[in-house]
Amino acid sequence: MSTTLPLFRRAFFDSWRSTLAWAAGLAGATFLYLPLYPSIGGSAQMQDMIDALPPEMVRALNYDQIATGPGYTQATLFGLIGFLLMTIASVGWGAAAVGGDEESGQLELTLAHGVTRVQVVLERALSLVLRVVLLAALVFVLVRALNESARLEIMPENLFGAAVLFAGLALLTGTAALCGGAVSGRRTYGLAAGAAVGVVGYVFNAVGRQSPDVEWLLNLSPYHWAYGNVPVANGADWAAAGWIWGISAVLVAVAAFAVSRRDVGT
């Protein structure tokens, strides 16, 4: 029996429960935050409250444009809770894809069959991409659906660009985890690599926005590459999107190269 992309199918369909759970989490977060905009983000009192906060804190949380629908969506959903959920999901999947599978001893049996190592990495990376894209697409659809009722006034093309960056950012952490796992053969190192990319990106953004002296940190922050110009309000920086997706592709290639050159399961 020959089916196309057998490893992709297994990686994708065997994890449907987890995909569904993260989708439910993201949907929950979206429904929790966005309908509150008219009463919180858009109100004059909220703006007064934001003004009363230390400006450093406002910048760190990306709350500077929270009084507009797109700014609110950017800061709360794409920039915070959604970013967090997507990163955790993607890093978990990425670390499990090769490193976790090897550590649990199952990769050995897969590789003893009629597959190449490059094929294993690529098909599993494809499964990671598809799951991340599905989650981002879900967020896109839900925000579109709530746009009217929550009076967000987000332009569809800007939302689309933000969703591409949202997926790209998650993918970058996920592929870093996949790469870390593939190079080391250990799930933990994969998790560490993915989490490092996510956390460092977020922290460098928060710190880098504080003063011109540390602005250079922004250049090292994938989070800032993606969200620096507030894409939900202003549209995506497509060059940044290209970089983020491109680096993810490179990380997958490095993973494939590393696995194909070393001993497995030792």
Partner 1 sequence: MPQAISTRSLTKKFGRREVLHGVDFSVETGSVFGVIGPNGAGKTTTMRCLLDIIRPTSGEVRVLGEDPRLGGPELRRRIGYLPGELFLEGRVTGRKLLSHYEAISGPVPPGRIDALAERLGLDLDRHTRKLSKGNKQKLGLVQAFMHEPELLVLDEPTSGLDPLIQQEFHAMVREARLKGQTIFLSSHVLSEVQQTADTVAILRDGRIIAVESVSGLREGAVRHLRFTADGITAHDAGALLGTVPGVGNVTVLESNGTVTLSATLEGAIQPLVRTLGTLRLKDLVLEEPDLEESVLQMYSGPADPPRREAAT
Residue numbers at the binding site for partner 1 (CB under 8 A): 1-3, 6-7, 10, 14, 17, 104-106, 108-116, 263-266
Q: Which one, 56 or 108, has the nearer CB to partner 1?
A: 108
Tokens describing residue 150? 């929550």
Least separation, in Å, of the C-beta of 86 and partner 1?
Answer: 23
SS (H, E, C) the chain: CCCCCHHHHHHHHCCHHHHHHHHHHHHHHHHHHHHHCCCCCCCHHHHHHHHHCCHHHHHHCCCCCCCCHHHHHHHHHHHHHHHHHHHHHHHHHHHHHHHHHHHCCHHHHHHCCCCCHHHHHHHHHHHHHHHHHHHHHHHHHHHHHHHCCCCCCCCHHHHHHHHHHHHHHHHHHHHHHHHHHHHHCCHHHHHHHHHHHHHHHHHHHHHHCCCHHHHHHHHHCHHHHHHCCCHHHHCCCHHHHHHHHHHHHHHHHHHHHHHHHCCCCC
Least separation, in Å, of the C-beta of 129 and partner 1?
Answer: 20
Within 13 Å of residue 160, how many CA atoms lie on the same side as its CB? 4
Least separation, in Å, of the C-beta of 264 and partner 1?
Answer: 5
Q: Which one, 44 or 112, has the nearer CB to partner 1?
A: 112
Within 13 Å of residue 77, how many CA atoms lie on the same side as its CB? 36
Least separation, in Å, of the C-beta of 104 and partner 1?
Answer: 5
Q: Which one, 39 or 116, has the nearer CB to partner 1?
A: 116
Q: Which one, 51 or 108, has the nearer CB to partner 1?
A: 108
Least separation, in Å, of the C-beta of 122 and partner 1?
Answer: 14
Q: Which one, 234 or 260, has the nearer CB to partner 1?
A: 260
Q: Which one, 17 or 44, has the nearer CB to partner 1?
A: 17
Least separation, in Å, of the C-beta of 118 and partner 1?
Answer: 11
